[in-house]
Structure 1
Amino acid sequence: MKIVFLESTAQDIQWFRFYYRSVFPAGSAKARDKMKAIQATLAANPYAGHPSDTRNTVLEFSIPRTPFVIVYRVMPTQIEVLRLWDTRQGTEY
């Protein structure tokens, strides 16, 4: 299934890149690889995430060994990524 990152993820992606470029560069390659692997997993298994505790219409997929979660919804023809959420910001995305 096709994965589409909505405009609502733009700042999140910028923060993700900045964090791994500037704050934690040692983890950059691993985080990028994990992100690619998760996208492949979601494309093959759209319901691999767990239901959100805060919004009943979305799923969450944690990126292992990072503070980030992919927040998404499954549509008939695509997966829409709503946020690439840094969980250190709390649970209200």
Structure 2
Amino acid sequence: METAALLPAGDLGRLKWRCRRGLLENDLFVERFFRRHEAGLTLAQVQGLQGLMDLSDNDLLDLLLGRKEPAGELDRPEVKEVLAMMRQPG
């Protein structure tokens, strides 16, 4: 799979639905991320985002706030890239 390829437009809605969270704080980070980057998301970035979305809300919030850094299976370049994009101040 070509990871530099852009996400097909039809897949964006499904991805946004998948990224809905239970904590408002996480949703705010996710919404800002999509506002800034949805038009140019690569497949590698989508893979990184999906890895983050597999986390519990509290673990995700710890990463977003910089209380923790990706470890183990999440210690991958695409996860770190998306996390940096999501941490960018508003």
Tell me whether the two structures share a fold, i.e. TM-score over 0.5: no
Q: Using structure 1 for the length normalisation, give the TM-score.
A: 0.35
Q: Using structure 2 for the length normalisation, give the TM-score.
A: 0.36
Structure having the higher strand fraction is 1
